[in-house]
Structure 1
Amino acid sequence: MKNRLKELRQLHQWSQSDLARELGVSRQAVNGFESGKFDPSLDMAFKIASLFNVAIEDVFIYEAKNSMQTLAERVKNFFGFEFGFERFTEKAINALNFARNEATRSQNSQVEPEHLLAGLLADPTTTSARLLRANGCLVSIETDEHSFEIRENTKFSPQSKFVLELALQVVRLQGKKSIGTEHLLWGLTRLVETDKTALSDLLKRYEIDLEALNKQLAQTV
């Protein structure tokens, strides 16, 4: 994958060895990243973007027909209600619909991360629900035949949009076309790590082993 890593490194007046030290990798690894000989892991890609304080798409160049679109435009096309949910898997759409309904039921004006978590647990056959339950979550979510039908066009909160943006970035890096429940769950766990919100307490109450969950997600996503 093409990238701007060398350009960003030189702007900071760092050698490859300097950058390697910051990232905790070898100089040879940095050279491989810069030359495009091999791609960094997802976690490493986000670490690089965070180090330079830029969006991940400002480091790694996605070569596709829509590569000139901004991230905001792509996100809007992915999950903006007026455009539909064509780029999500059916199970991911159901999870988001459930989250919206859950926000309405709890009289919230926006879909918050805790509603997304409920949506990812609602269908026990999804990858996200299986991973959550395999790592300690024993919470049972009640559903009925209408639970996954969209009822209200409830907007996503800034934190929930951040989760969706992370899910989008993951599938872009992988060269995949669809966002699944596992990608949404990956975005949620990254949110917990970057922003100590009420979701952290919720995960603890659900007795979810976040460290173990992250390890399994790294193998799944």
Structure 2
Amino acid sequence: MTPPSKSQAKAEAKRAFLIEQATACLAEKGYANVSLRDIAKESGVSLGILHYYFASKEDLLLAVIASYKERLIDELEREVVTAPLDSWLPALVTVLGRSLQEDRKLHRLWYDLQAQALYTPVFLEQVHRIRARLHDLIVRMLRRLQTERQAPLAMDENAASSIVYSLIDGMILQSLLDEDKPAAEALALFQFAVQHFLASLFTLDQK
């Protein structure tokens, strides 16, 4: 693979910097309350420079969300899906807990994007893509558990994946809505719910 030229590397670094600045701005104020001019000012660049890298505010938001979700998916892949099976659930709780602490505002931005996706097709496409990747991780985890337990799922794996995804998604949303409650409380409830769901998910566990 040919390494990028100095000009390409410089452009990629500049784009990454702008995404970082936009992430902080959008996460703090929300999509509807920020303009490209605001982001350009926060980044210390001209509006023309920002437009050179991003055609619109929508394009920039998609880049911000993609960057944040890519990092989270990498963490889930590394620390949960491919981790030892005897510690996958505590590992999942650890990753989600860290994310709720460090990326709380970015999670709010993700829900903001999903709300906007109900009316904006380009956002809907990105939401579907990210959710599909997360569902794929869950399915892979369920297949590993099936192999370990030597028992088939008691339901279609896509249905099981949807329920697990809903548990995770609901826990995160509830934690964001309950600002006065510690994230640890939501995480403990989530772990309890997942353990009980898994106990009914495998046919051998039903005997």
TM-score by length of 2: 0.28
Greater Rg over alpha carbons, structure = 2
TM-score by length of 1: 0.27
**Which structure is higher in helix share?**
2
